[in-house]
Amino acid sequence: MPTLQLKISPLQNPSRYRALAEALTRITHEQLGKRAEVTAVVIDDVPAARWHVGGSDVQRPTALLEISITQGTNTAEQKAAFIATAFAELEDQLGDGHGLEPASYVIVREVSATDWGYGGHTQAARRLTTAVL
């Protein structure tokens, strides 16, 4: 099911990571209809000295969120709503009232059902099993 990889700068405290994971899981469920119990969120810190935009050091908090979902399971409108809602959440939690670095991104990646899986089975195989039942 969906996987979210979030890279953020600057470093945060552990309670912030949990709050981000909970919010992103909720948004994924609400905007894309994905099951919360199988939504994985991985958060990586990137030291500010290693994050550059336009060849310059970033001046504000920065985020890069990538979500992988099965191709064809969501509409363009749902994906746009997810991007807007997730960005607003990141800005709210990380921006300290000053917003994020303008070059902060939310990316939705669609992966073919034959190219990724859950529990050792491709999404395509899982669909076939469910259809037979």
Q: Go through the domains of the chain in sequence order and give each one's CATH number.
A: 3-132 (3.30.429.10)
What is the structure's pLDDT at 131? 61
Strand 3-9 with 40-45, pairing: parallel
pLDDT along the chain (133 residues), means of 10: 94 94 98 96 94 91 97 97 98 93 96 86 73 57
* pTM above threshold 0.85: yes
- The answer to whether residues 43 and 9 touch, using CB atoms and an 8 Å cutoff, is no
Q: Write down the pLDDT at residue 23.
A: 98
pLDDT at residue number 50: 93
CB 64 within 8 A of CB 105: yes
Q: Which of 34, 39, 33, 57 is nearest to 47 (CA)?
A: 57
pLDDT value of position 82: 98
Work out whether the CA dihedral 42, 43, 49, 55 comes out positive or negative.
positive
pLDDT at 133: 56
